[in-house]
Structure 1
Amino acid sequence: MTVPGGDGGEASSSARNRRRRPEPSPTQRALGLLTRREHSRKELARKLAGRGVETADAHAVIDKLAAAGWQDDSRFARSLVRSRAAVGYGPGWIRAELGTHGLGAEAVSAALGSVEDDWADVARDLVRRRFGDAGLLDIAQRRKAADLLLRRGFSMEHVRAATRHD
């Protein structure tokens, strides 16, 4: 009995094994990750370890890629800050997220300072997107907006600027 589309079963299995690509090197794996998006050193090391790369080899590859300009923690931090601010996260939330990537306080502050928008403007934009152009009509909506902004990592100063009744 033949299987539609089959060519004999086991023969195709061995043919498939012969056509497999060789296992990618740690450098190829890291470059594959970095071509999709920026990664911090810590995140890249974790992902390489998850793909079976030894810790020492992963750190050596990351050092080599950093020296060549492929991996840069400050560039990663700026990219993360821009993307999170664009979707409505505040500096407190972003600072905490950058901390999970093993970045120092100096790098985090520099990245947060690179945001061209005023954080109050980012907060106002989030409130406008969430509650509509009509604005916050009553105290209950203002409280909801304030809760949202605080959960998203905005300071009370930003909350007041975004929720005040004009």
Structure 2
Amino acid sequence: MNDLKPRAIRLLARREHSRAELARKLSPHGSPEEVDTVLTELQNANLLSDARFADSYLRSQGARLGAAKLRQTLRGKGVAEETIAARLAAADLPDELERVRTLWARKFGSAPTDAREWARQARFLQSRGFGTDVIRKVLKELAE
């Protein structure tokens, strides 16, 4: 346990982590009880916060990912569903349609010429977590 807290602080100094993510990184270095104790201490000292981690992640990835992908990734990092919903609502992100247009322009730049190209562009945007309705709207606008 002696080296768990400094190790956790070093990890947090590099970037924000969720509690679950930090627990996973610390687990090889101590017992589950010791890790939980250190994480609770860090949360009580306000050095560890899932909400702050979610805000940081949304700031860095929000402009190029859709809400579904952002939500899925945060869930995978162990952030609670209520925290995700609150942080997404509070995030200062452009609307989904604007983000799709920006990402599409950066990646492709020219309208799809055939059904195969249309499908390729749609798959790319869908892999980034954008909804099919938004993707169809943007690609339809481009075809006109």
Secondary structure (helix, strand or coil) at the match of 1:48 reads helix
* 1:138 to 2:117 alignment: no
- Does the alignment pair 1:82 with 2:63? no
* Counterpart for residue 11 of structure 2: 33
* Match among 33, 42, 53 for residue 56 of structure 1: 33
The partner residue of 1:127 within 98, 104, 111 is 104
- Once the two structures are superposed, the pairs formed by residues 1-166 of structure 1 within 5 Å of their partners are 25-50=3-28, 52-86=29-63, 88-113=64-89, 114-132=91-109, 135-140=110-115, 141-163=117-139, 164-165=141-142
Whole-angstrom distance in 2 between the partners of 1:128 and 1:77: 27
The superposition leaves residues 90-142 of structure 1 with CA deviations (integer Å, 9 ceiling, x where unpaired) of 1111111111122221111122221421111111111011112xx31524433
| Preserved contact between residue 51 and residue 83 of structure 2 (Cα < 8 Å) | yes
Taking a change above 3 Å as real, the CA distance of residues 139 and 82 of structure 1, as seen in their structure-2 partners, is farther
Structure (1 or 2) with the larger CA radius of gyration: 1
Instruction: Give the TM-score normalised by the residue count of structure 1.
Output: 0.76
Distance between the aligned counterparts of 1:115 and 1:93, measured in 2? 17
- How far the C-alpha of 1:67 sits from its partner, in A, is 1.3
Normalized per residue, which structure has more helix? 2
Q: Cα RMSD (Å) of the superposition?
A: 1.9
Report if aligned partners of 2:112, 2:121 keep a CA contact under 8 Å in 1.
Answer: no
Aligned length: 140
Name stretches of at least 5 consecutive residues in structure 2 with no aligned partner: none
Answer 1 or 2: higher relative contact order, Cα 8 Å, separation at least 6.
Answer: 2
Report if the CA contact (8 A) 1:121-1:162 is conserved: no
Percent identical across equivalent pairs?
34
Moved more, 140-149 or 90-99: 140-149
